[in-house]
């Protein structure tokens, strides 16, 4: 909570967490008792779903074998994910077929770059 407060630069009006027992005390001590604490898996769903791809990778392996391998995978995964993801603008829509075509084109370009290296 301390680092989140330093990063944001101001106290939030409310904090949404997944309901872990440690959060109420941390919020009260670091953010103050006037900050509303909400416990919901769904209100912060976007944040929770952000690391879904990494979860899908390490669940079958029962976790990464070593911290170094986790760090290596996460850095490569995030770079590739950022490269391939579709970037949206306010009010802009794109069909799934167009998104798939864009993804394939970017993947083909990436493969050409890797083969040339």
Whether residue 97 is found in the same domain as residue 55: yes
Look at strands 36-39 and 14-17 and give their pairing: parallel
User: Do 30 and 62 share a domain, yes or no?
Assistant: no
| Predicted model pTM | 0.37
Based on the fold, state whether residues 56 and 88 are members of the same structural domain. yes
- Predicted local confidence at residue 33, as pLDDT: 87
61 lies in the same domain as 23 = no
| Same-domain status, 70 and 98 | yes
- Tell me, yes or no, whether 26 and 73 share the same domain: no
**Could you say which residues of the chain have pLDDT below 50?**
none
Q: What is the pLDDT of residue 78?
A: 77
How far apart, in whole angstroms, are the C-alpha atoms of residue 29 and residue 34? 11
Residues 83 and 110: beta-carbon distance below 8 Å: yes
Whether residues 92 and 63 fall in one domain: yes
Kindly state whether residues 22 and 67 are assigned to the same domain: no
| Residue ranges making up the domain that contains 72 | 51-116
Same domain, 20 and 69: no
Instruction: Using a pLDDT cut of 90, give the percent of the chain over it.
Output: 0
Domain shared by 12 and 63, yes or no: no
**Same domain flag for 18 and 57:** no
Number of domains in the chain: 2
Residue 20 has a pLDDT of 80
Residues 94 and 55 in one domain: yes
Q: What Cα–Cα distance (Å) separates residue 117 from each residue in 8, 9, 113, 114?
A: 41, 43, 6, 5
């Amino acid at each position: 909570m301390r680092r989140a407060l330093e990063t944001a630069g101001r106290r939030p009006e409310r904090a949404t967490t997944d309901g872990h027992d440690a959060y109420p005390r941390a919020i009260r001590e670091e953010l103050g008792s006037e900050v509303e604490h909400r416990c919901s898996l769904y209100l912060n769903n976007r944040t929770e779903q952000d690391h879904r791809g990494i979860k899908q990778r390490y669940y079958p392996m029962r976790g990464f074998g070593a911290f170094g391998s986790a760090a290596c995978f996460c850095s490569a995964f995030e770079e590739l994910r950022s490269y391939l993801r579709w970037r949206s603008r306010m009010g802009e829509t794109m069909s799934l077929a167009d998104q798939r075509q864009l993804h394939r084109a970017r993947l083909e370009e990436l493969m050409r770059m890797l083969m040339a290296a």
